[in-house]
Amino acid sequence: MRSDLMKKGIEKAPHRSLMKATGLNDSEIRKPIIGIANSANEVIPGHIHLDKISDAVKKGIIAAGGTPIEFSTIGVCDGIAMNHKGMKYSLGSRELIADSIEIMATAHPFDGLVLIPNCDKIVPGMIIGALKVNIPSIVISGGPMNPGMFKNSPVGLDKVFEAVGKTAKGLMSEDELYELECKACPGAGSCSGLFTANSMNCLSEALGIALPFNGTIPAVDADRIRLAKLAGAKIMDLVENDIKPKDIINKKSLENALAVDMAIGGSSNTALHIPAISHYAGVPLTLKDINPIAAKVPHLCTIAPAGPHHMIDLHYSGGISAVIKSLADSGLLHKDCMTVTGDTIYNNVKSISNIDRKIIREISNPVHADGGLAVLTGNIAPDGCIVKKAAVAEEMLVHSGPAKVFTCEEDAVNAIMNNKIVKGDVVVIIYEGPKGGPGMPEMLTPTSVIAGMGLDKEVALITDGRFSGATRGASIGHISPEAASGGPVAVVRNGDIIEINIKENTINVKLTDDEIKKRLSELPEYSPKISEGYMRRYALQVSSADRGAVFEN
């Protein structure tokens, strides 16, 4: 056993003495020791119940003959961090979480790991951490929040952000905004739509690193507790059979994750996290590898913010298992990939039925003929950028308009709120990428205010930063190379015409190559916005978004 490194032999008597100080007895020390990485905290609604998930995991481990030992990781709530300095620290937390798992599982050589995340950066951060130590591991998430009810309709957090724009424009009263604020998030779980947290929890199933239904069982359901117990038992099987993350996450399983992502219309941030996971798995993959899969996989689901349904609807229609089965039966997914069940991804789901074909459409009757995400390239994004195509109105798939340029999110929001953005404009927000932000802050406020003011079918937003998974409309992020690295998006000026063609996967500024080169030569050297601490170090190490904003060296 790997844990023998810290417990076997007379020379490890001091180590065993310290373990006994925690209450472990000789029998427990002799058994396989399973580390439980738990991101529970009292900040994030998706994490307030993870103590219960951990308790269930421990019961599963003990019943299967192991000894569980829990440790913590950090977690940032993107919704609470949104639109202030705190958001600059969110993406950076992903690598910090991964590093903390690497440190804990190396300093204390566990035989296996159970990873308990639930929200945005925490899910990929834990998966990356597992890949770095590469010992048997399984993900069991906390599950999605149920939608709230407002005026007899289901709603989620995205509607609260959009209501800010409606209230600013006089389309909603402050009393109505307050009522919505109180009802949109009814309790524990990751926010109820197909935003980044739930997208990543679903894709962990497609990667094979989590059990079926990990992404969709509601946080408050007893089924979630039963799944956690099963995850505790399964980690013992993985340890016994020495099945490691790099045995599961490979080129085929990453392609499966992208295929499922296209089918469900997941968050555009998955285009950041999947390349990052692939990097740490040793599998080359960038933004440009997405389009070939998007071209052949149809978009099947209309989950908020791309439609009226929520995660609970997807779950009771058959969940990600039903989506995987549909894709596999149509030859759009690799059936033979190994998963944490010890069986192939197809064998896991072959008995699952699609209960409601309004929630999960048939391959022959999709929402869109191609995938929910699209990668655009052009003279201001030579290495690509990403748009959640499934959430873009038909009339905005092709758009041309004058740029309104801002060098930070706050200035853009002020301009939008003060009616300085008009029909036809293209809002350009630069110096908000991984290096420039730093930390590539997620921008839900500007996109939501645009939508709330009724401009989402008339105004486009583009940035070298990123947008929230709750964003809808022609919101194009991850422009690479970013402005802070001397990318050509940095030369765009007010009034320049931006031409966007999502149908043709192109984005360009109407300038000659010579004019772009001239303007690039005149750019001043970029000075980091944060000059000390973790994010200063982060900015010095991080790659561009097209490669997943990873630490390359």
| DSSP sequence for 370-391 | S-S-EEEEETTEEEEEEE-GGG
CB 318 within 8 A of CB 353: yes
Give the three-class secondary structure for 339: coil
Q: Using the predicted structure, report yes or no on whether residue 127 has a pLDDT greater than 90.
A: yes
Q: pLDDT for 93-123, tens place per residue?
A: 999 999 999 999 999 999 999 999 999 899 9
How much is the average pLDDT of 152-172? 92
Is the whole-model pTM more than 0.85? Answer: yes
Compute CA distances 86 → 55, 76, 82, 411, whole Å.
31, 9, 7, 16
**Predicted confidence (pLDDT) per residue in 238-256, tens digit:** 999 999 999 999 999 999 9
How far apart (Å, rounded) are the C-alpha atoms in residues 54 and 38? 7
Of the candidates 192, 321, 468, 485, the residue annotated as catalytic is 468
Quick check: 154 and 200 in contact, CB under 8 A? no
Prior bond of 305 cis (ω within 30°): yes
Please, is 551 exposed, middle or buried when counting C-beta atoms within 10 Å of its C-beta (0-12, 13-18, 19+)? middle
Q: What is the pLDDT of residues 434-460, one digit of tens each?
A: 999 999 988 888 888 888 888 889 999
**What one-character-per-residue DSSP string does 34-66 give?**
EEEEE---SS-TTTTTHHHHHHHHHHHHHHTT-
DSSP structure string for 438-463: TS--EE-HHHHHHHHTT-TTT-EEEE
Which one has a higher pLDDT value, 145 or 544? 145
CB atoms within 10 A of CB 410: 15
| ∠ Cα 324 135 543 (to 5°) | 75
Q: Is 468 a catalytic residue?
A: yes
- Token pair in block for residue 473: 């409309």
Whether cis (ω within 30° of 0) applies to the bond prior to 154 is: no
pLDDT number for residue 553: 61
